[in-house]
């Protein structure tokens, strides 16, 4: 089974093609191609993701990215013989007509580039399209959904809506070598597991159970705790901005913190470790961000600038505060749920120090931990295609972007 994944929930336009084999109750997969086009540089000027810009960029990027995907998949794709005939001009025109009223005004860039894309007249033998339905920025989500709808209608392929957060969970179960094109099994997980989802939009502790007894997981989710305000990635990005660092700020703070450790810089300021006494598994990062604001205000020169040494020290203290806060709640979640393993997912899981902290905790509890490889830690379509592969039944319902879609 060949699955196309489409991801446009935030500022990454991503497409992936994966092949999945469910023979003998065993699920194996291999990546034909997975491409991510980041818009981060464009959004950097705004200090964060600018939804209207994200929507327009996805509209411009999707069709060229699809072209690139097919070209780069090259030989690997030729093994999928298709009995589908090339699409005639009248057939193509009738699909475009069907969506003209609805999609052209909403996503003009997407509609126009789709209409001009001659290569789309040669259908691929794709069995399913998996597209992110939410959570995320609704205008951005709609572009991916509309692309899926047009492609699905043109090539006659069913479309499966996918939860972006489930994508982050299953993406972390992929093998390190997944991008070399070889077949791999999903990593076997002991359930119940605790999934810790840490990204620019989410900070969630989730209990994950499996309803399946074969190697194709059928997962269900219970949210144990979440942030009451900013997500952890947002806290990284906003604090980085206060320090005059570019968007996305997480990697920059992490880099400066690392330098501070190497240079043995002692932070000048002590930041709070929020919500440790809240008695639950929820988070709040807005106070931490305010503490960074005050620290910068109290230590800047008359032009509002802080020294490089101060930036390094504060980055170190910030990373430590985040790490202690997340680790404290992770331990509590393990204690309360009796979890048998830990799955870490979301963009912030790229953070080296957090990975080390969680790995140490897992070791202490003698639990297996699953961390995403670099390609799947940020937003990507491989995890979306994989999540689509896990769906037992292909339900063809009306697709609708759901900015606050919940895991269930
Ligand atoms: O999952 P993701 O790519 O997009 C969302 O769905 O939100 O996560 C993006 C977030 C950004 O806030 C970014 O600053 C953060 O992940 N991030 C990091 C690191 N790399 C990315 N945060 C801390 N340390 C990093 N190394
Ligand atoms: Zn994400």
- Ligand 1 pocket, CB under 6 A: 10, 199-201, 233, 236-237, 248-251, 254, 346-348, 350-351, 378-379
pTM of the predicted model as reported, rounded to 2 decimal places: 0.96
- pLDDT range class, residue 215, cuts 50, 70, 90: confident
Q: Mutate which of 241, 250, 381 to test ligand 1's pocket (most atoms within 8 Å of Cβ)?
A: 250
Asked if the model's pLDDT at residue 351 lies above 70, the reply is yes
Nearest CA to ligand 1 atom 2: 347
Query: Which ligand neighbours the alpha carbon of 198 most closely?
Result: 1
- C-alpha 325/C-alpha 177 separation (Å) is 32
Strand, coil or helix: what is 38? strand
- pLDDT range class, residue 404, cuts 50, 70, 90: very high
Instruction: Name the average pLDDT for the chain.
Output: 95
Asked if the model's pLDDT at residue 341 lies above 80, the reply is yes
Task: Look at residues 14, 97, 135, 111 and name the one whose alpha carbon lies nearest to residue 59.
Answer: 111
pLDDT on residue 58? 98
Q: What is the mean pLDDT of residues 204-215?
A: 92
Exposure string of 64-74, with b = 16+ CB inside 10 Å and e = fewer, is ebbeebbeebe
Asked if the model's pLDDT at residue 318 lies above 90, the reply is yes
The number of the ligand 1 atom at minimal distance from the alpha carbon of 199 is: 8
Tell whether omega for the bond before 135 is within 30 degrees of 0, i.e. cis. Answer: yes
For residue 6, list its beta bridge partners. Answer: 15, 131
pLDDT on residue 205? 98
Express as a percent the part of the chain with pLDDT over 90.
89
Q: What is the mean pLDDT of residues 370-390?
A: 96
């Amino acid at each position: 089974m060949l699955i196309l994944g489409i991801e446009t929930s935030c500022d990454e336009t991503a497409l992936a093609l994966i092949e999945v084999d469910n023979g003998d109750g065993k699920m194996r997969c291999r990546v034909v191609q997975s491409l991510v086009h980041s818009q981060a540089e464009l959004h950097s000027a705004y200090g964060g993701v600018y939804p209207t810009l994200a929507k327009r960029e996805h509209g411009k990027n999707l069709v060229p990215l699809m072209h690139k995907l097919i070209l780069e998949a090259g030989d690997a794709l030729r093994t999928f013989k298709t009995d589908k005939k090339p699409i005639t001009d009248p057939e193509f025109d009738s699909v475009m007509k069907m969506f003209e009223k609805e999609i052209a005004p909403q996503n003009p860039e997407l509609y126009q580039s789709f209409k001009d894309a001659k290569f789309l007249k040669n259908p691929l033998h794709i069995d399913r399209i998996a597209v992110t339905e939410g959570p995320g920025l609704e205008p951005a989500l709609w572009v991916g959904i509309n692309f899926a709808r047009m492609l699905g209608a043109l090539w006659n392929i069913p479309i499966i809506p996918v939860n972006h957060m489930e994508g982050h969970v299953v993406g972390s179960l992929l093998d390190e070598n997944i991008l070399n094109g070889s077949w791999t099994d999903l990593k076997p997980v002991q359930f119940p597991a605790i999934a810790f989802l840490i990204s620019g939009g989410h900070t969630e502790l989730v209990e994950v159970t499996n309803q399946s007894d074969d190697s194709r997981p059928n997962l269900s989710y219970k949210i144990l705790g979440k942030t009451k305000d900013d997500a952890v990635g947002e806290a990284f990005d906003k604090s980085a901005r206060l320090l005059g660092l570019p968007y996305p700020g997480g990697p920059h703070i992490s880099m400066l913190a690392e330098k501070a450790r190497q240079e043995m810089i002692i932070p000048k300021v002590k930041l709070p470790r929020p919500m440790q006494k809240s008695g639950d598994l929820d988070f709040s990062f807005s106070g931490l961000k305010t503490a960074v604001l005050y620290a910068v205000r109290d230590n800047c020169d008359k032009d509002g600038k802080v020294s490089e040494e101060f930036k390094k020290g504060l980055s170190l203290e910030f990373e430590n505060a985040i790490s202690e806060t997340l680790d404290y709640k992770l331990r509590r979640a393990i204690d309360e749920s009796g979890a048998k393993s830990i799955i870490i997912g979301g963009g912030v899981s790229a953070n080296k120090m957090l990975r080390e902290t969680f790995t140490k905790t897992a070791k202490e509890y003698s639990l297996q931990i699953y961390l995403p490889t670099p390609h799947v830690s940020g937003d990507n379509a491989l995890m979306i295609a994989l999540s689509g592969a896990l769906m037992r039944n292909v339900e063809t319902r009306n697709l609708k972007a759901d900015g606050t879609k919940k895991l269930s």
